[in-house]
């Protein structure tokens, strides 16, 4: 069995040598993790979850979304969450904004970073934004312009990067084409989302190779995996080997998408940290503190913890 190459008495693994020294985890649980819950989660619970996760060392905690409450009632308290939140120095608290009105609300509530959410597929764009892919870019253009004028960084999400339940598979070139348009609008980073969790490591490599062919540096990209088919961690590992160092995850593995019912939970933050800790990759995240926060919020929701590592640590 091959066990790596010995260098100065230390076993050098070809796997570890291909990984970044540090990975930034973007915690999406308070927004993406909670938005699909059927019962309205109390504002106090949302705020405490955000503060617990920031206290656990997560450098980026996506706090909420300023979407029309009619479409996502769960996040109707976005202003209150942002205004009452005790922010920790050095922690970023981005919020999702769908349009100019959402941006206005976010800035008024003190947001210092925002995200926009596009789709790689036509049907999901219509279902999620009620607009075609082209119309979505037109809607985002003034958002990015006004955010830039306010000195507010904009992160871009591109969902359904491996396909959706309606249009089927999507070609990597289509994903790249839509993503380039977001970069042209001024997004500092793009999070590539496998919204229904169908991707495999080979598809991750193919997609990132297409971005490389288009001249997009890996430093501009992040990944956002759902674990529907149990491929989340394997897909992260493939992305890191391709040069990425930013990964989205959700405490406890909570999440889904209200507009794509086949989208089950996100990759669990604890599962990701457990793997990265084992590989010697620095995250700055306290594993047990995140697991405790996940167990706490799942208790508040009256549900079992989806994430495996949090379940194991609680047991």
Query: What CATH code is carried by the domain that includes residue 184?
Result: 3.20.20.70
For residues 55 and 61, give the distance between their C-alpha atoms in angstroms, rounded to a whole number.
Answer: 10
The whole-number pLDDT of residue 255 equals 84
Q: What is the mean pLDDT of residues 134-160?
A: 97
257 in catalytic set: yes
Please provide the distance, in angstroms rounded to a whole number, between the alpha carbons at the two ends of the chain.
34
- Average pLDDT, whole number, for the chain? 93
User: Which among 187, 257, 298, 300 is annotated as catalytic?
Assistant: 257
The whole-number pLDDT of residue 265 equals 80
pTM tops 0.85: yes
The whole-number pLDDT of residue 5 equals 46
Please indicate, yes or no, if residue 284 is contained in any of the structural domains: yes
Whether the per-residue pLDDT at 239 is higher than 80: the answer is yes
The whole-number pLDDT of residue 118 equals 96
> How many CB atoms lie under 10 A from the CB of residue 235?
26
The string of pLDDT tens digits covering residues 40-61 is 999 999 999 999 999 999 999 9
Whether the per-residue pLDDT at 175 is higher than 60: the answer is yes
Please indicate, yes or no, if residue 119 is contained in any of the structural domains: yes
Please indicate, yes or no, if residue 257 is contained in any of the structural domains: yes
Bridge partners of 233, per DSSP, are none
Please indicate, yes or no, if residue 13 is contained in any of the structural domains: no
Please indicate, yes or no, if residue 6 is contained in any of the structural domains: no
Please indicate, yes or no, if residue 239 is contained in any of the structural domains: yes
**Out of 76-80, 86-90, 157-161, 259-263, least confident range:** 259-263
The string of pLDDT tens digits covering residues 70-82 is 889 999 999 999 9
Please indicate, yes or no, if residue 94 is contained in any of the structural domains: yes
**Out of 14-18, 82-86, 273-277, least confident range:** 14-18
The whole-number pLDDT of residue 1 equals 36
pLDDT tier, 11 (very low <50, low <70, confident <90, very high otherwise)? low
**Out of 55-59, 92-96, 258-262, least confident range:** 258-262
The whole-number pLDDT of residue 257 equals 54
Percent of the chain exceeding pLDDT 70 equals 93
Tell me the residue range of the domain where 285 lies. Answer: 19-314
Q: Provide the domain count of the chain.
A: 1
Please indicate, yes or no, if residue 57 is contained in any of the structural domains: yes
Q: What is the mean pLDDT of residues 161-171?
A: 94
């Amino acid at each position: 069995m091959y066990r790596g190459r010995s260098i100065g008495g230390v076993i050098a693994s070809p796997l570890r040598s291909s990984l970044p020294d540090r990975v930034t985890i973007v915690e999406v649980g308070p927004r993406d993790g909670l938005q699909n819950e059927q019962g309205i989660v109390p504002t106090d619970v949302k705020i405490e979850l955000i503060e617990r996760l920031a206290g656990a060392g997560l450098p980026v905690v996506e706090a909420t979304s300023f979407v029309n409450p009619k479409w996502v009632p769960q996040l109707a308290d976005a202003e209150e969450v942002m205004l009452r939140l005790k922010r920790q120095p050095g922690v970023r608290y981005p919020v999702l904004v769908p349009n100019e009105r959402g941006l206005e609300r976010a800035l008024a509530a003190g947001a210092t970073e925002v995200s926009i959410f596009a789709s790689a597929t036509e049907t999901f764009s219509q279902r999620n934004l009620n607009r075609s892919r082209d119309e979505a870019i037109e809607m985002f253009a003034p958002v990015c312009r006004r955010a830039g004028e306010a000195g507010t960084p904009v992160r871009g999400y591109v969902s359904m990067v491996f396909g959706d339940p309606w249009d089927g598979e999507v070609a990597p070139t289509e994903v790249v084409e839509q993503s380039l348009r977001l970069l042209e609008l001024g997004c500092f980073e793009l999070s590539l989302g496998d919204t229904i969790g169908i991707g495999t490591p080979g598809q991750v490599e193919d997609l990132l190779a297409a971005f490389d062919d288009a001249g997009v540096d890996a430093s501009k990209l992040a990944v956002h995996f759902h674990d529907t088919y149990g491929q989340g961690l394997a897909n992260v590992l493939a992305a890191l080997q391709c040069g990425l160092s930013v990964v989205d995850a959700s405490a406890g593995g909570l999440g889904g998408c209200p507009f794509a019912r086949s989208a089950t939970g996100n990759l669990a933050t604890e599962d990701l940290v457990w793997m990265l800790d084992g590989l010697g990759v620095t995250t700055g995240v306290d594993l047990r503190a995140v697991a405790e926060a996940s167990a706490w919020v799942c208790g508040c929701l009256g549900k079992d913890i989806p994430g495996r590592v949090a379940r194991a640590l609680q047991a």
